[in-house]
Chains A and B, each alone.
Chain A
Amino acid sequence: QVQLVQSGAEVKKPGASVKVSCKVSGYTLTELSMHWVRQAPGKGLEWMGGFDPEDGETIYAQKFQGRVTMTEDTSTDTAYMELSSLRSEDTAVYYCATDSRVGIFDYWGQGTLVTVSS
């Protein structure tokens, strides 16, 4: 059974960056395809990007290209999502989720609330 435990809530000022972590247990990170999905308050789910095993690369939603970086530390089985140039519209709960096959997100972290406010 895969378990994903994310880092705690963050408060950031506009223009800053935030880095959210997602610790994997039950499996090793190399066995998984990790993705990130966010949800603004009262809004729907929005896919941000993740590892595509078909071509072995990390892919990002066009909306976040240039502002988001997803990395992995296989020595600690921890995935990271860093979002830069934060603005108020980035206030959201950020989830890590494992992708068993192109959009089948079968395990989810508990979510990390990122608040962007001056």
Chain B
Amino acid sequence: QSALTQPASVSGSPGQSITISCTGTSSDVGSYNLVSWYQQHPGKAPKLMIYEGSKRPSGVSNRFSGSKSGNTASLTISGLQAEDEADYYCCSYAGSSTYVVFGGGTKLTVL
């Protein structure tokens, strides 16, 4: 059982928008603006897509956006493309003793 809860799967058609939720607690997501999101294609290493809740690293498409409300963070992908099909993981700082916790991952299927 992962510390952060994500839906196991989401799907959407090309051009559509989807949102992946990541629910934590007041000890992690709710307490810090330090949620990051990672994209992982099969057999590849994860790639940082969003950090500090809503910031994009250089080179990441602006179709990817992040937000947070209370204990739940969200990743939205707009204008879905075939190459967006991958697994997505959220991660949150959880204080100095636990450090970080990951979500269980969400498989995105582009129909």
Contact = CB atoms under 8 A, between A and B. Distances in A.
Interface of A: 37, 44-47, 49-50, 52, 54-55, 59, 61-62, 95, 97, 100-106, 108-111
Contacts of B45: 95, 108-111
B47 interface: yes
A45 B38 contact: yes
A105 B46 CA distance: 9
Q: Which 5 A-B pairs have the closest CB atoms?
A: A103-B100, A108-B45, A44-B105, A104-B51, A102-B93
Contacts of B18: none
18 contacts: A44-B102, A45-B105, A47-B99, A47-B100, A55-B96, A61-B98, A95-B46, A101-B34, A102-B32, A102-B34, A103-B93, A103-B99, A104-B48, A104-B51, A104-B52, A105-B91, A106-B57, A111-B45
Contacts of A109: 45
Nearest to B36: A104
Given A54-B96, A55-B96, A61-B99, 19 more contacts: A44-B89, A44-B102, A44-B104, A47-B99, A47-B101, A52-B99, A95-B46, A102-B32, A103-B34, A103-B36, A103-B91, A103-B93, A103-B100, A104-B36, A104-B52, A105-B36, A108-B45, A108-B46, A110-B45
